[in-house]
Amino acid sequence: MLTALIDDIGRRKAELDSLRPLSAAAFAQLQKYYDVELTYTSNAIEGNTLTLRETAEVIEHGITVGGKSLRDHLEAVDHYEAVQWMRDLASRGEPIGEGVACELHRRIVARSQSAIAGVYSNLPRRIAGSPVVFPNPAKIPQLMQRFGAWLESSPPEPGSAFEAHFRLTAIHPFGDGNGRTARLLMNLLLIRDGYPPIAVRPEQRKAYLDALEHGSLTEDLQPFQIFMHERLDATLSDYLSAFRQALPPGGG
């Protein structure tokens, strides 16, 4: 199943590449739409109560939403700005290692939880309702150093981006924001290698978390790799449709 997915992804990416480049204006419009979606979905998975439209209003117009917490608003602004930094970094082709993971986290919680921004936790971390046990906090610096070295040498393919996501969540180095950081790191690697970023939607939360938990408990990453490759395949299909619609008459 995974092999078939990888083949399908290769075909879709080749087709997407054949439609590039779009006009700057059309590409900017599409990118903004997807970046707001990335922010909404990643925050929603972690309990943020802003809807997609409310997230867009906060980001694009600075409008506060009645009845929603200040933290929900700050998380939207933080994440969107982290996405912009991530895209800029991906375009520069610079090495991606431990420092980048920490900087992504710092930006993701810069306003909402500034006290822990980019700082490794010195406390035990647990997820309510999950049997997964994370490494002792004393081991985090060494584990992250090893993770950074692996990141710098990992092959440029989607499977590596998904494994980077898994490895970071398995270490769980930060007091909060680990999932958002892992998803943004994954997307940084995907964009750097010419793929579109992936949004894991709130309705997919259970399947996504179950696959992560299964990998942590059994060291079997196959379900997680399949889940994420399916998301990439679906995202490529969405991008192809959007690109075709954005082409000028007679284009392509």
Domain parsing of the chain, residue ranges: 48-197
> How large is the greatest C-alpha to C-alpha distance in the chain, in angstroms?
60
Q: What is the pLDDT of residue 251?
A: 55
pTM for the predicted model, two decimal places: 0.94
Provide the annotated binding site for ATP.
176-183
How far, in whole angstroms, is CA 94 from its chain's centroid? 18
Q: What's the angle, vertex CA 94, arms to CA 92 and CA 100, rounded to 5?
A: 110
Question: Per 3-state DSSP, what percentage of the chain is helix, strand, and coil (rounded to 5)?
Answer: 70, 0, 30
Residues 6+ apart with CB under 8 A from 210: 223
Q: What is the pLDDT of residue 243?
A: 83
CA separation for the pair 251, 244 (Å, rounded): 9
Look up tokens 């939880």; give the residue. Answer: 113
Asked whether 147 and 160 are in contact (CB, 8 A), the reply is: no
Query: In the structure, how many helices (H) and strands (E) does the chain have?
Result: 10, 0
229 is catalytic: no
Q: How far is CA 247 from CA 208, 228, 236, in A?
A: 34, 28, 16
> 12-45 burial, b for 16+ CB within 10 Å, e for fewer?
bbeebeebeebeeebeeebbeebbbbbbbbbbbb
Q: What is the pLDDT of residue 125?
A: 84
Decide if domain 48-197 falls under CATH 1.10.3290.10. Answer: yes
CA separation for the pair 98, 104 (Å, rounded): 10
Catalytic residue among 105, 165, 172, 229: 172
CA separation for the pair 226, 159 (Å, rounded): 10
CA separation for the pair 20, 83 (Å, rounded): 22
| Nearest residue to 216 via CA among 133, 126, 124 | 133
Q: What is the pLDDT of residue 133?
A: 87
Q: What is the pLDDT of residue 217?
A: 93
Which residues of the chain carry a pLDDT beneath 50?
none
The pair of three-digit structure tokens given for residue 114, joined into one six-digit string: 């500034």
